[in-house]
């Protein structure tokens, strides 16, 4: 597989909508399943974020978003969101996207801190984040309702070395 990482464009919306149509993707976000198209597109429109996509053979198969703070005293940090098409899980797409986001944060945006939240039961995502230097800062107990039960949410961050 040959991935191209690039900035998201309006023509990518259909592929991004497709990714979020999969319950296996949305169940690991704070969103409800079965989102409508306009709601999904709205995730990628705010001005205070950098959205990178991974493209394979002309199709977007994942994205990573750095949500930059507009608060004057927090401009040194960003929140991170990521999603990968289920057909491409376990193939290095997430890792490639995360590395690109970290490169942008460290070398181009001058960010000190990247933070994210991950469900405690999402072991593969947690393992990836840990490999890339993210550490647990805290745990929100019973923070979300997922698949009929309350689940914990891990708050993780990476500080620029």
Location of structure tokens 């990521």: 82
Please give the pLDDT value at position 46.
74
- Which band of pLDDT confidence, cut at 50, 70 and 90, is reported for residue 50? very high
Tell me the β-bridge partners of 151.
144
Q: Does pLDDT of 48 surpass 90?
A: no
CATH number of the 3-114 domain = 3.40.630.30
Residue position matching structure tokens 């709205």: 42
Contact status, residue 116 vs residue 81, Cβ threshold 8 Å: yes
Q: Where are the domains of the chain?
A: 3-114
CA-to-CA dists, residue 18 to 1, 41, 67, 128, angstroms: 20, 11, 22, 23
Q: CB under 8 Å to 67, separation ≥6 — which residues?
A: 46, 48, 49, 78, 79, 80, 81
Share of residues in the chain with pLDDT > 70 (%):
100
Q: What is the pLDDT of residues 87-125, one digit of tens each?
A: 999 999 999 999 999 999 999 999 999 999 999 999 999
Q: Which pLDDT score is estimated for 32?
A: 87
Neighbour-count burial of 151, counting CB atoms closer than 10 A to its CB (0-12 exposed, 13-18 middle, 19+ buried): middle
Kindly report, residue by residue over 10-43, the tens digit of the pLDDT.
999 999 999 999 999 999 999 989 999 999 999 9
């Amino acid at each position: 597989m040959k991935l191209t990482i690039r900035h998201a464009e309006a023509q990518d919306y259909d592929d991004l909508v497709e990714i979020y149509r999969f319950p296996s993707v949305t169940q690991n976000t704070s969103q409800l399943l079965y989102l409508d198209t306009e709601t999904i597109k709205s995730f990628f429109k705010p001005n205070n974020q950098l959205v990178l996509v991974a493209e394979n053979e002309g199709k977007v198969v994942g994205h990573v978003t750095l949500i930059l703070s507009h608060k004057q005293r927090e401009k040194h940090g960003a929140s991170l969101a990521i999603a990968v098409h289920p057909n491409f899980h376990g193939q290095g797409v997430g890792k490639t996207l995360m590395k690109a986001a970290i490169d942008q944060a460290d070398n181009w945006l001058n960010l000190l801190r990247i933070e994210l939240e991950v469900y405690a039961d999402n072991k593969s995502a947690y393992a990836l984040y840990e490999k890339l230097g993210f550490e647990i800062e805290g745990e929100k107990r019973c923070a979300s309702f997922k698949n009929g039960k309350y689940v914990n949410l891990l708050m993780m961050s990476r500080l620029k070395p």
